[in-house]
């Protein structure tokens, strides 16, 4: 796909297509959809940020919300090395002495009226965030110095940034912080919700394995450990593989404890259910 802006041809990114389902916690889904809503011709969509521990489903929530709206979704992974041109337009050599301009997933979403998920946004430096400042207020545009164009956002364009609440991230500058509102907190799910998440991701798994893993995760949540449903999926999957590979029948609990140990380490064993 190619879009022309002020005589410059931009090669667009392809939308992401994931098979995900948001399970439980409908309140945070409602908050996210409300933030994107426009209720009057003088109103504007907001730019929410989803905050929570790694693995609680921030990206899944954002993607599922976009799916409910029937929109194209573009996921852009932020890192400490992300540069302003990575967020906007990058020049690529094509043939002898010829450049082509490649739009980022974010800029593609702006042009096509899609939804961009800026994943782990607080791993990105202030310099990179500064290039997005005019996009996040009522101006709704970015300027690419590389391509020499100003790109205005489609009226249907929406943005959300996910952010981990750990120490390996940058503090957002205040002028960006005030533009990324509201802040939507995603906590660990309840027992029933977490079990449903495991079943959704591992529909072929033995229910007793999933129940054991869910109990383990709930014990860990109560102690404020950072283990997540993502860890639980890995534990359950590894347990099933251990059982499948065993020549003699491995006891389910032994396989589960081995999977927990090898996935999360010795400290995690203290949260195993007493069975």
Q: What CATH number does the domain containing 45 carry? A: 3.40.50.300
More confident residue, 160 or 165: 160
- Domain identity same for 119 and 175: yes
Distance CA(47)–CA(262), nearest Å, equals 39
Percent of the chain with pLDDT over 70: 97
The sign of the CA dihedral 220, 213, 163, 83 is positive
pLDDT in tens, 54-88: 888 999 999 999 999 999 999 999 998 999 999 99
Of 156, 185, 214, the last residue of a domain is 185
Of 154, 185, 216, the last residue of a domain is 185
- Domain identity same for 23 and 97: yes
- 165 exposed, middle or buried (CB, 10 Å; 0-12, 13-18, 19+)? middle
Candidates 234, 222, 223; CA nearest to 264 is: 234
Distance CA(152)–CA(74), nearest Å, equals 17
For residue 250, what pLDDT is reported?
66
Candidates 88, 165, 65; CA nearest to 120 is: 165
- Domain identity same for 225 and 99: no
- Domain identity same for 202 and 179: no
Distance CA(259)–CA(254), nearest Å, equals 9
Residue 117 pLDDT greater than 80, yes or no: yes
For residue 78, what pLDDT is reported?
94
Residue 243 pLDDT greater than 70, yes or no: yes
> Residue 99: pLDDT band by 50, 70, 90 thresholds?
confident
- Domain identity same for 165 and 97: yes
For residue 168, what pLDDT is reported?
58
- Domain identity same for 13 and 97: yes
Who contacts 65 (Cβ-Cβ below 8 Å, separation ≥6)?
Answer: 22, 29, 32, 33, 36, 115, 160
- Domain identity same for 115 and 55: yes
- Domain identity same for 38 and 163: yes
For residue 169, what pLDDT is reported?
65
> Residue 249: pLDDT band by 50, 70, 90 thresholds?
low
For 145, the token pair is: 């110095």
Of 130, 155, 185, the last residue of a domain is 185
Range of the domain at 109: 2-185
- Domain identity same for 260 and 138: no
């Amino acid at each position: 796909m190619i879009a022309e802006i002020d005589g410059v041809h931009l090669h667009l990114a392809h939308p992401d297509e994931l098979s995900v389902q948001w399970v439980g916690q409908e309140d945070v889904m409602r908050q996210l959809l409300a933030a994107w809503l426009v209720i009057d011709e003088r109103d504007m969509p907001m730019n929410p940020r989803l905050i929570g521990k790694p693995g609680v489903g921030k990206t899944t929530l954002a993607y599922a919300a976009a799916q409910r709206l029937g929109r194209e979704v573009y996921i852009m992974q932020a890192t400490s090395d992300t540069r302003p041109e990575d967020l906007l337009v990058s020049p690529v050599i094509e043939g002898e002495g010829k450049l082509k301009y490649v739009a980022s997933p974010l800029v593609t979403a702006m042009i096509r009226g899609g939804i961009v998920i800026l994943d782990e946004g607080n791993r990105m430096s202030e310099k990179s965030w500064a290039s997005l400042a005019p996009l996040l207020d009522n101006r709704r545009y970015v300027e690419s110095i590389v391509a020499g164009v100003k790109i205005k956002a489609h009226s249907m364009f929406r943005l959300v940034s996910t952010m981990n609440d750990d120490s390996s991230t940058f503090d957002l500058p205040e002028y960006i912080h005030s533009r990324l509102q509201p802040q939507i907190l995603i906590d660990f799910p309840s027992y029933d919700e977490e079990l449903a998440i495991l079943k959704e991701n591992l529909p072929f798994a033995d229910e007793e394995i999933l129940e054991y893993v869910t109990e383990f995760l709930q014990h860990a949540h109560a102690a404020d450990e950072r283990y997540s449903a993502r860890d639980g999926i890995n534990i359950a999957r590894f347990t099933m593989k251990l059982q499948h590979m065993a020549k003699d029948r491995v006891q389910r609990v032994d396989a589960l404890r081995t999977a927990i140990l090898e996935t999360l380490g010795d400290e995690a064993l203290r949260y195993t259910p007493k069975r």
